[in-house]
Amino acid sequence: MSKKILIIGGGINGAGMARDATMRGFDVTLFDKGDFCSGTSWTSSKLIHGGLRYLEHFEFGLVRESLREREILLRISPHNVHSLDLTIPVYKHSPHALMTLRAGLTAYDVLSYDKSLPNHVVLNVNDIAQKFPAMNRENLLGGLSYSDCQCPFPERLVLNNLQSAVRHGAKIFNYHRVTEICKEHDRVTGLHVKNLLTNEEFIFNADMVINAAGPWVDEVLQLKSPDERLIGGTKGSHIVVKKFDSSMSSAIYVNAKSDGRPFFILPWQDEYLLIGTTDIRFEGDLETLRPDVKEIDYLLAEFNELFPSVKLNRSSILFSFSGVRPLPYTREDAPSAITRKHFIIDHAERDDLRGLVSLVGGKLTTYRQASEEMIDFVAERLGKSSPCRTTEEPLPGGDLEDIESYRRAEFIRIPAQLKISERSFFHLINLYGSEYQKIIELCMATPELCDTVCPHVPDIKAQLVYAAQNEWAVTLNDIMFRRTSAGLGECVGLCNLDATAELIGRILKWNDSKLTNEKNVYRNYVEKNLANHRHV
């Protein structure tokens, strides 16, 4: 009989662990209290990066690990992760001189000696002006450009890990809250779980429980005293605006003028710029996170410092969001100095409680490595030795040698009767990789499903159907934001909401009152969580 592992949390780390453990032959069940990837993982800056700034804190091990993982993800998931050119403009007032940055990027290149991306390049003022004609040139001394990676839609990276886990035999449940860790004497025996859709409650037995609840790790453990806490979360917010220069494909990385913090302007989803982030110690309610006025104004001011002629203001913001980094608790460190390493907490050692481990910290970038370490640890505790295979097998849809040529070659092959634009087609490949064929099959059966969900997004109706039928989606929100990017248009999915909800409702068998309720929940979510800048 396979040993049973229960995983709490379907963010990137829980999903990565579920995949790894199932591939090694464990009997795995994963629960998330919300939808998969509805916690921190979707709110990140979406960079798969070595973390140049960690060199300042001499975290060479973390940088090397991240750069190695970046390369692995490019190989096993080329549809989810792509290279991104970043430019660092250097001004007279910049905290790091050109020479210092050059030394840092040389170290970055050395630490990524096995990479497929190009080395850094030194830029003069003219080079920068050509790349970014609207950039502030006053006191600009020059700059550098280097390569890292972006995962524009981490929701699909999480989903692909879960799909892979399920194909290897895992069971996964969204909208299932773990309400209690069941114990007998000094060992954990399982979990008490509540299905939030039906209010049914269950007990699941386990040989090992993994707490991968991100910023909720302490809440899951129901710690009695604040001194016992593991997580010292910091809040980070982003704003999304329309690209003011449609040709801008390079990202910008600077130290913010007002406080020296890392500040990114990232091209995102073809038409947008993702601007972030803040880093503020967080002790509040994780369920009602919003960017506050100060954060929004800080991000706008730093952007306008770099691009004064663009004059971004609150009404330029299309949407905004916040997340909490599940960092290890420290009393002293400034938020940006807290390590981004991950730690495995063995509760047998810490609390004399066997059969329970927690993950603290980590990055989106290093989720696979963190998962491998966690499952190595668990396997050893459960007396089973089997090697990790997650670097070898591509994620679902990731079996592509060269995604660029694949995209072009496949586009020519789409059956003539299907009216899918090049933009939508490329979007399908970016979201589903080689598994885009499954969407095409739906279009072949019902050609109207080739239509876009609304004029503001490249997503097509077949994706909604596919998500409702095959991707564990339960709500309109799940489909619009976490299976497809249909909710990420300028209209935030509202312009065609009735027709969209009806199409999804037919598949999920919603009656009229359920349909109305789903639309209301959707509108509320958009108003409160994404478009809340209107109220600041």
Ligand X SMILES: Cc1cc2nc3c(=O)[nH]c(=O)nc-3n(C[C@H](O)[C@H](O)[C@H](O)COP(=O)(O)OP(=O)(O)OC[C@H]3O[C@@H](n4cnc5c(N)ncnc54)[C@H](O)[C@@H]3O)c2cc1C
User: Given the rule CB under 6 A, which residues bind ligand X?
Assistant: 8-14, 31-34, 38-41, 43-47, 49, 177-178, 212-216, 220, 236, 277, 323-326, 362-365
What does the alpha-carbon distance between residue 248 and residue 169 come to, in Å, rounded to a whole number?
Answer: 43
Q: Which is nearer to ligand X, 62 or 450 (CB)?
A: 62
Nearer residue to ligand X within complex by CB, 161 or 485: 161
State which residue, 378 or 494, has the beta carbon closest to ligand X.
378
Closest approach of ligand X to the CB of residue 84, in Å = 11
Least CB distance to ligand X at residue 324 (A): 6
On the 0-12 / 13-18 / 19+ scale of CB atoms within 10 A, 385 is: exposed
CB of 421 to ligand X, least distance (A): 30
- In DSSP terms, which residues pair with 240 in a beta bridge? 274, 319
Q: Please give the helix or strand (H or E) that residue 192 lies within, else none.
A: strand 187-195
Residue 222 or 513 with smaller CB distance to ligand X: 222
User: Whole-number minimum distance, CB 264 to ligand X, in Å?
Assistant: 8
Label residue 402 left, alpha or beta by phi (over 0 means left) and psi (-120 to 50 means alpha): beta
Decide whether 280 or 418 has the Cβ nearer to ligand X.
Answer: 280
273 token code pair: 């710029």
Residue 80, strand partner residues = none
CB of 45 to ligand X, least distance (A): 3
Cβ 107 to ligand X shortest distance, Å: 19
For residues 484 and 453, the answer to whether their CB atoms sit within 8 Å is yes
Q: How far is the CB of 162 from ligand X (least distance, A)?
A: 11
Whichever of 127 and 297 has its CB closer to ligand X, that residue is: 297
CB of 89 or CB of 215, closer to ligand X: 215
Shortest Å, Cβ 304 to ligand X: 21
- C-alpha distances out from residue 66 to 25, 71, 108, 440, Å: 27, 9, 11, 35
Residue 244's nearest CA partner among 273, 277, 274 is 273
**Phi/psi of residue 84, each to 5°?**
-140, 130
Give the residue at shortest CB distance from ligand X.
Answer: 11
**What is the CA 211 to chain-centroid distance, rounded?**
19
Distances (CA, A) of 150 to 47, 234, 488: 4, 22, 17
Question: What is d(CA 287, CA 270) in angstroms, rounded to the nearest whole number?
Answer: 30
Per the listing, tokens 């919603």 go with: 510
Query: Which of residues 215 and 505 has its CB atom nearest to ligand X in the complex?
Result: 215
Cα(360)–Cα(218) distance, integer angstroms: 10
